[in-house]
Amino acid sequence: MIPTKNFSSRGGATVRLIVAHTAEAARTAEALGNYFANVSRNSSSHVGIDHDGTVPYVDYDKAAWTLRSGNAISDNAELCAYAMMTRDQWLSTETISFWHPGLKRTVWVDNPRAILERTAQWIAERCRARGIPLRKLTPKQVAAGEAGVIGHIDWTLGMDDGSHVDPGDNFPWDHVMARAGAYFNNTEEDDMLDDERNAVISTHAAIFYKGGAQGDQSIIERLVEAQRNGRATLVKLDALAGVLSDDEANILAALRSDSAQDSQAVAEQLAPLLLEGGLLTRLSDEDIARVVERGADEQDRRARERANQEV
């Protein structure tokens, strides 16, 4: 912890908002903490997040100074990044750099995707600790006094309070909230080694496409069977319980892609997105139907191949 004296009492207020900000200058959470430690700054945050960790500054029973009139009702994290970043930059695993016209200098952000991952974990932890719904609020919902997750810009617009627009228009909330959902639904500490994690990913991929090692039906085959039995509309998330998502938006895009002609094409697009936590949180009947259709086509293709091999 890098403590700061820049905080105040919550005055008995109930915390209802979990808020993400961008620090707009510091490259590391340590450097940001040293900045907040100076009492003349008149600003602070509960934590700072960079690619390498989450560093606390202010205890959660106190109000950090980062959301103007919303300080008392919010838990806040400052991300070591910039609101002007593009979506591609946010999702990059490399060190990125770009010219910042406001600062009039080149700035660097290390592994922004790792920052997003730690942000998602922090959001899940705070929502669970506070009993706050894990949902992204609109400015209108903020103004209505609802509880959930926001960016500073949502407070600015919803409450007409200040001018901050972080974490920016291109902040990938879909990705962050999907990952937060994964952490929220898994309370166990994730201490798997990379090779162990890869083994689990491979297992889930095999079940999804080919069935289990003992000849169990694949999930695609279960969907096909359900459709043929007239029960396709009943196949919901439980039918996809073995499929875990890294980025829900990309998965849905793959399912709807015109380039995905059969289940194998879908499989190839979804493979790198399997596991890394959290079940698919939203899949429409139309999406399921398309998986079923492609699964049937794939099964027919495999049946023809087997028949040709037997001849």
Identify the pLDDT of residue 229: 53
Identify the pLDDT of residue 194: 47
Task: Concatenate the DSSP letters of all residues of 142-169 into one string.
Answer: HHTT--EEEEHHHHHHHHT-----TT-T
- Say which residue the tokens 């500073």 belong to: 152
Contact status, residue 2 vs residue 55, Cβ threshold 8 Å: yes
DSSP state of 136: B
Per-residue pLDDT tens over the stretch 192-244: 444 544 444 444 444 454 554 444 555 555 554 544 554 433 333 333 433 43
What is the pLDDT confidence band of residue 275, given thresholds at 50, 70 and 90?
A: very low
Identify the pLDDT of residue 273: 41
d(CA 284, CA 149): 24
pLDDT at 306 over 80: no
State the average pLDDT over residues 269-297. Answer: 45
- pLDDT mean across residues, the chain: 76
Per-residue pLDDT tens over the stretch 128-138: 999 999 999 99
The H-or-E segment that residue 50 falls in is strand 47-50
Distances (CA, A) of 160 to 19, 38, 153, 166, 293: 16, 29, 10, 15, 49
Task: Provide the residue type at 76 as one letter.
Answer: N
Q: Which of 147-151, 166-170, 190-194, 286-290 has the lowest mean pLDDT?
A: 190-194
Phi-psi region at 159: left, alpha or beta (left = phi > 0; alpha = psi -120 to 50): alpha
Give the number of other Cβ atoms within 10 Å of residue 234's Cβ: 12
Per-residue pLDDT tens over the stretch 31-43: 999 999 988 889 9
What is the pLDDT confidence band of residue 186, given thresholds at 50, 70 and 90?
A: confident
Is the pTM for the entire model greater than 0.95?
no
* CATH level 3 topology of 7-184: Lysozyme-like (3.40.80)
Query: Which of 157, 308, 280 has its CA nearest to residue 208?
Result: 280
Instruction: Delimit the domains of the chain by residue range.
Output: 7-184, 194-310
The H-or-E segment that residue 36 falls in is helix 29-36
> Which one has a higher pLDDT value, 27 or 205?
27
